[in-house]
Structure formats: structure tokens, C-alpha cells
Amino acid sequence: MYSKRIEAVIDASPYIDDRNRALWETMNKRFNISVEHSVEDCYGNYLIKDDCTIYVCKNEDPSPSSFTHELLHLYLPTKDIRIGSTIQLFLQEHYPQCLIFDKILYDHISNCLEHIKTFPIFVEMGYPTQDFIQDYITNKLTDNDLNPIVHYYRVGLFKKRYNVQAVNCFIGKFFASKADVNPDHNYDNQLLKLKALDSQLYSILDGFWNNWIDYDIERKREVWEHNHRTLVDTFDKELTQWGKNKNFQVV
């Protein structure tokens, strides 16, 4: 078992260039990082406490930009900001969040929140904007994405029930569109349709997003000060209040 683990570990040096070397050295001092080939043949990372595995593509040439993207997912934890796990910790205990949010949505929201904070760092390091994510050119909220959300949402409301899957998609697509760093994509019309569908839920998501945008990740805070956990706490309480006296249907 131990020998197989050693064989799986990859030399990181081909993924390091002059632009990300300082970041790599800093993160490597802070975390126990290993590099391995991804089973799905795509870049990714897995962080638990201070142990991190960065997954790289087996059948492609080393990409320092993609590797840097994964390194930047470690940046917020160095600031004591583990936004994804904080959201899951708060939301999973309360209704209707425990019905609406699943692991896929938690991971998706975490990615979106981390991306919007690390993208400026990525660009400042000298990497092209289009290299930040693999689906840079993909539209994150099309009318085709929106139509089934609207349909199932309205069908549920007609029956005086909220369709859990539709709400899940509503939330996921909201964050996907907000986190899109491609300036050629405009989601104003689609977001207006989401807002018209459920203005209260939209306002809660939008308020949390804007609070996160305004949140200074570089500022060191004392434990009693307003921090990312209080942002999530407010978000959680507002979702609980929104769901009060509503019936939710899992299809």
C-alpha cells in the first residue's frame, strides 16, 4: 500500500514557472501538498485540515496556469477562511436548507466564492484571464438552463409546494452566473427572470453575494470581530426565515 502511494506521487516541478513559484513555495510551507494524477483526467484539489492533494491531468502536458488555479484554492484557508465548509456546517442543520442543499451544491458554491476572490490574484500573477478555468467560454446561465427552473418552480407553486430540485438549480445557477469572470457574458436578463420567480430568495442570495464581494480577505480579524462566519450565519438565518411556513417537495 505504501509503495503504491509513493508511485502515485508526481514531481511538481514541471507545473512551476516564474509566475507561480512564490505562491507554490508559500503554500508548500503552509500545507502538506502532494501531486497526483486525476482519475477523471482533470485538475482538482482535495484539502483536509493541512493535507492537500492536487490532481493533474495524466494525458496532457503540464499546465502551470491550471496548477496555479488549484494552488489558489489554498489561499483563503491561509487566511483562516474556509468558506465552503463553513456554509455546509451552518446550513446542513436547518430547514429547508437541509433539503435543498446537497454536496454538489455546497462544492459548487464554495468554488464560486473562492474563484471570485482568487481570480484577481491569478491575473495579477501574469496568467491570461481565459486560462483561469477550463470552461471560460461556456455561458453559465442560458435561457435553456433557465426554462426548466421556471417551469418546475411554477408547477410546484401551483400545487402550493416548492420543488426542491428547482430551488437547488435556482441557487446553483445564481452563483454560477455571478462568479463568471468572462466579461463577454451578460446575465442581466436571465437574473431578472430568476428575481421575478422568487424575489425574496433572490434578494437573500444577492445580499450574501454582495457582502462576500465586499469582504476583505486580507484583513486579519480577532475572533470576536465580524468575519466570514457571521456572513454565513446571516445567510443561514435568512434562508430559514424564507422557508418558514413553506412546504417543500422532493421529487
CB contact set of 3 (below 8 Å; sequence gap of 6+) = none
Residue at 250: amino acid letter:
V
Average predicted confidence (pLDDT) for the chain: 93
- State residue 222's pLDDT score: 79
The confidence band for 156, taking pLDDT boundaries of 50, 70 and 90, is confident
The predicted-structure confidence for 1-12, as pLDDT tens digits, reads as follows: 333 343 467 899
Distances in whole angstroms, Cα of residue 128 to Cα of each of 104, 132, 182: 28, 7, 12
Distances in whole angstroms, Cα of residue 19 to Cα of each of 72, 88, 136: 13, 33, 21
The predicted-structure confidence for 34-71, as pLDDT tens digits, reads as follows: 999 988 878 999 999 999 999 999 888 999 999 999 99
How much is the average pLDDT of 228-247?
A: 96
Please state, in angstroms and rounded to a whole number, the distance separating the CA atoms of residues 44 and 70.
6
User: Would the pLDDT of 251 be above 90?
Assistant: no
User: Would the pLDDT of 151 be above 80?
Assistant: yes
pTM for this predicted structure? 0.93
The predicted-structure confidence for 216-235, as pLDDT tens digits, reads as follows: 999 988 777 889 999 999 99
